[in-house]
């Protein structure tokens, strides 16, 4: 725009619109960055906890294979990993009593930013009475 004096300048409205557009662009960039950090944090925790989940499932499978219905398996607990409390919940039920088939479900959960993150695992165990 050219003023009456012949000087080129921007009006206040043009400056405000440009500032709003730039602020909105920065907001979207910032939001995308925070989302990628949240995903990275989840997968970093996943890589640490997946072996522990597999070990817990394997312990439950071993107990059910050896003892079957008499197995005394711990079903809940909490531990700390990197100053972060991790809750776990294990459940098992018989799918076929006659053949001794059991389904095992395990869930690890922890607080991550604004949500509760979870890792779920399932496995099967077969009780062999002959052993």
pLDDT digits 0-9 by tens, 16-37: 999 999 999 999 999 999 999 9
CATH 3.40.30 fits 12-126, yes or no: no
pLDDT bracket for residue 9 (50, 70, 90): confident
Give the 3-state DSSP-derived string for 22-90, with helices as H, strands as E and coil as C.
HHHHHHHHHHHHHHHHHHHHHHHHHHHHHHHHHHHHHHHHHHHHHHHHHCCCCCEEEEECCCCEEEEEE
Q: For residue 13, give both structure tokens.
A: 């409205």
Q: For residue 125, give both structure tokens.
A: 């165990």
Domain boundaries, the chain: 12-126
pLDDT digits (tens, 9 = 90+) for 77-118: 999 988 889 999 999 999 988 888 999 999 999 998 778 999
Would you tell me how many other CB atoms lie within 10 Å of the CB of residue 22? 10
pLDDT over 90 at 13, yes or no: yes
pLDDT bracket for residue 68 (50, 70, 90): confident
Q: For residue 82, give both structure tokens.
A: 């990197």
Q: For residue 16, give both structure tokens.
A: 């405000």
* pLDDT value of position 81: 86
C-beta separation of 111 from 82 below 8 A:
no
Q: Does residue 118 or residue 130 have the better pLDDT?
A: 118
pLDDT over 60 at 1, yes or no: no
Separation of CA 129 from chain center: 38
pLDDT over 80 at 4, yes or no: no
pLDDT bracket for residue 3 (50, 70, 90): low
The rounded percent of the chain whose pLDDT value lies above 90 is 67
Mean pLDDT within 58-87: 91
């Amino acid at each position: 725009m050219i003023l009456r004096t012949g000087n080129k300048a921007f009006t206040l409205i043009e400056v405000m619109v440009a500032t709003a557009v730039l602020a909105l662009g920065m907001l979207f960039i910032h939001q995308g960055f925070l989302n990628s950090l949240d995903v990275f944090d989840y997968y970093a925790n996943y890589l640490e906890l997946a072996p522990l989940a597999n070990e817990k499932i394997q312990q439950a499978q071993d107990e059910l294979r050896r003892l079957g219905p008499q197995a005394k398996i711990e079903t809940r607990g909490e531990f700390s990993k990197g100053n972060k409390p991790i809750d776990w919940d294990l459940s098992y039920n018989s799918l076929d009593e006659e053949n001794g088939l059991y389904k095992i479900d395990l869930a690890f959960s922890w607080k991550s930013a604004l949500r509760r993150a979870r890792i779920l695992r399932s496995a099967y165990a077969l009780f062999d009475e002959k052993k």
